[in-house]
Amino acid sequence: MNKLKLVFATNNKNKLKEVQAMLTNFEIISLADINCFDDIPETADTLTGNAILKANYITEKYGLNCFADDTGLEVKALNNEPGVYSARYAGAENNSENNMRKLLNNLGDNTNRKAQFKTAIALNINKKQFIFEGICKGQILKQQQGTDGFGYDPIFMPDGYKKSFAEMTIKEKGAISHRGKAIQQLVDFLNNNF
């Protein structure tokens, strides 16, 4: 039986690996696999808006079923910064170390370290669009812990845990993370409808 092929509109190999591990009944391919090296605009002021922009770009340009996500870290004491600017918080080069350093500097000794990761996914399939959203609440640590994961994982500790995302296995993180929750909704939807 042929697996349904879906383009995941990303060039982030870590994200792709996480998603492929959760969507084993489908063939998940990346932008590189369809020779898309365009800088897809992310100009919306919400995560959902950016996910829609990316998914629509692929569907309109390549005519393929696809899904796109946008993820942001929202820190309560920083008025939900960095939000849609999470990947380029410290500048356009998307440097995780610099982003974490800027966030920790901006937060300083603030005792309110509440934060949440939020993922929005836009799925374009058979000329219809569906939106899924996942949230993972937690705290910003005072310093980095762990070496796995990517992005802000070393400084984010999910509620109910005593370790950062960067100290968890892909499977552990996937079971509770914002992306994991949004992807699980996507998986359930695809499994029930395709």
Alpha carbons 150 and 133: distance in angstroms, whole number: 20
Integer angstrom CA distances of residue 111 from 24, 86, 162 = 41, 21, 18
Name the amino acid, one letter, at 88: R
Query: Catalytic annotation on 70?
Result: yes
Burial class (CB in 10 A: 0-12, 13-18, 19+), 39: exposed
Q: 81-82 and 114-125: which strand pairing?
A: unpaired
Catalytic residue among 70, 148, 159, 188: 70
Residues in the chain: 194
Please identify every residue annotated as catalytic.
70
